[in-house]
Amino acid sequence: MSRYEEAVPDVPPADLTLTERIRDAANVILRGGGTDWRQAILTAGASLEVSDPLRLLGNDAAGNWLWLGDWPTSERALDVGGGPGDTTAALSSLFREVEYLDHDSAWVEFARHRFGSRASPRVRQGGVELVSGQPGSFGCISITATTRRPDSESAGMLADCHRLLAPDGLLRLIPRIPLKQEGASRIRTLVDQVISGELTQRAWGLALRQAGYRPLGTYYAEPSLSYPYYLMPGNRRAVRAAERLHDDHLAGGRSRGWIVRAGLHGALYRHYFLLATK
């Protein structure tokens, strides 16, 4: 009996966050042994009564953000805070050696199950400090930050990654997204999202510059980073064009147009990332 069989309740509480649900789903997969991971997530999702179980995990299209940037010819890529491993999977099709890192033991076990015992991607538990190698040997680095705003720890991580990134290499930074406050008023939610979307974007941009990077831009992902059906530059013109494109998908009432015109995009799109180079 694995430790998950003891740890996972048969009926998960209804108020689980998405991350917690994904972890539970991962546990079900691990319990299932050699089950194909996509089929297993369907099974897990069914037990969780989720309408679209595959949405518990991302799909491989989550890696197409790479086409928004450019990277030098290099054999190595790094995924820091790799979570379910979607970015690692995407990097693996473009780079010969990919390193997956995450501090969370559940994610690491899930990634080991997903990627098996291949030499690449190499799955390890921990942070960027585990990575050895020549400075400038990674063509692409993706970082999923553990904090909402930059702090001393993230500054150290950015500095480490700067050392590892090749000249003209591509860095993607995903700030942590705050969870929605259940029961909060609409005004409070709006203010919170504007603050998280606008101010923290600027703070991370500043942190990147201080670490020696050259920011290339901010991109919003809609509806999520796992399912980025839309990836749009974080500027007013692009957002207005995206809103016009498929208003049935993106529209959320008359106020949405006003928010777009006011440039408060952070209130519309919770998920974003920053691209930078060295």
Give the interface with other proteins as residue ranges (CB under 8 A): 38, 42, 45-46, 51-54, 59-70, 89-90, 92-94, 228-233, 235-238, 240-242, 244-246, 248
Amino acid residing at 204? W
| Largest separation between any pair of C-alpha atoms in the chain | 57
| CA atoms of 22 and 243, how far apart (whole Å) | 30
Query: Between 228 and 266, whose beta carbon lies closer to other proteins?
Result: 228
Query: Between 92 and 196, whose beta carbon lies closer to other proteins?
Result: 92
Query: Between 156 and 233, whose beta carbon lies closer to other proteins?
Result: 233
Cβ at position 189, least distance to other proteins in Å = 26
Cβ at position 84, least distance to other proteins in Å = 13
Query: Between 30 and 57, whose beta carbon lies closer to other proteins?
Result: 57
Give, in degrees to the nearest 5, the angle at Cα 159 between 216 and 178.
65
| CA atoms of 272 and 126, how far apart (whole Å) | 24
| CA atoms of 95 and 272, how far apart (whole Å) | 24
Cβ at position 247, least distance to other proteins in Å = 8
Two tokens at 134? 């020549």
Cβ at position 113, least distance to other proteins in Å = 14
Cβ at position 75, least distance to other proteins in Å = 16
| CA atoms of 86 and 35, how far apart (whole Å) | 18
Query: Between 85 and 175, whose beta carbon lies closer to other proteins?
Result: 85
Half-sphere exposure for 268 (CA within 13 Å, toward CB): 29
Query: Between 165 and 239, whose beta carbon lies closer to other proteins?
Result: 239
| CA atoms of 249 and 242, how far apart (whole Å) | 10
Q: What's CA 157's distance to the chain center, in Å? A: 16
Cβ at position 210, least distance to other proteins in Å = 26
Which H or E run includes 249? helix 247-250
* Residue 273 · residue 65 · CB < 8 Å: yes
